[in-house]
A and B are shown apart, each in its own frame.
Chain A
Amino acid sequence: GDSVTQMEGPVTLSEEACLTINCTYTATGYPSLFWYVQYPGEGLQLLLKATKADDKGSNKGFEATYRKETTSFHLEKGSVQVSDSAVYFCALMAWAGNMLTFGGGTRLMVKP
């Protein structure tokens, strides 16, 4: 079945450091790929998405590129802020599917 694997956390960075959270997936066909973020005390919310190969999703300074050849969708940000501290989830939705399959989540802690 479909699955998503992402790097285990926690990831601890200093403010203004570069961030990469790795995500790889296994799926048949052509899934859509997503990053969701869960800030402390809040529900999950969509951060960015990409629906086909080579698409780049971006939002709030975060980016991720859909790489079909490596089945990856790594999340990147050039300069993190304390306010980026949260748990990040990579997810996929199968083509013609109706539910999201999530990875295990990666906690990011950014220190001032």
Chain B
Amino acid sequence: GAGVSQSPSNKVTEKGKDVELRCDPISGHTALYWYRQSLGQGLEFLIYFQGNSAPDKSGLPSDRFSAERTGGSVSTLTIQRTQQEDSAVYLCASSLTQKNTGELFFGEGSRLTVL
């Protein structure tokens, strides 16, 4: 497809389980971002990739969260030992270059519910 693709669109898991969320950015986009949107909250920055490297991991809320990007394309966000406060919509976005244009293209998100 032409847009940013995220999977799964919905994930329900039990507390303590690990989850993986996948993001497939727009082809050719070198920058990739993960944000989290909690109920009633704004968008919280998690991590940013330029190519395969992550120069900015400042937003990851704890060491249970990790992300990787391989081949400069697909990225996975992994949450280990999930907690109820991890319930949120996880949004992925990509942009064409690192250059500071601010135009990000977002996917529809992965809604995570931790029971």
Residues of A within 8 A of B (CB): 4, 32, 34, 41-46, 49, 89, 91, 93, 95-105
Q: Is B62 an interface residue (CB 8 A)?
A: no
The residue from A32, A99, A104 contacting B42, defined by CB atoms under 8 A apart: A104
Residues in chain B near residue A102, CB distance under 8 A: 35, 42-43
Q: Is B3 an interface residue (CB 8 A)?
A: yes
**Which single residue of chain A is at the shortest CB-CB distance from B35?**
A102
A-B contact pairs, 18 of them (CB 8 A): A32-B102, A34-B102, A41-B108, A43-B105, A44-B43, A49-B103, A89-B42, A93-B100, A93-B102, A96-B100, A98-B50, A98-B55, A99-B48, A100-B33, A100-B45, A100-B104, A104-B41, A105-B42
Residues in chain A near residue B40, CB distance under 8 A: 104
Check A43 against B31 for contact (C-beta < 8 Å).
no
A-B interface pairs (CB < 8 A), number = 60
| Least CB distance, B92 to chain A, in whole angstroms | 9
Number of B interface residues at 8 Å Cβ cutoff, please give it: 26
**Which single residue of chain A is at the shortest CB-CB distance from B104?**
A100
Residues of B within 8 A of A (CB): 3-4, 31, 33, 35, 40-43, 45, 48, 50, 55-56, 91, 93, 98, 100, 102-109
Check A43 against B91 for contact (C-beta < 8 Å).
yes
**Which single residue of chain B is at the shortest CB-CB distance from A44?**
B106
Check B103 against A43 for contact (C-beta < 8 Å).
no
Check A99 against B45 for contact (C-beta < 8 Å).
yes
Docked complex Cα distance between A43 and B35 (Å): 12
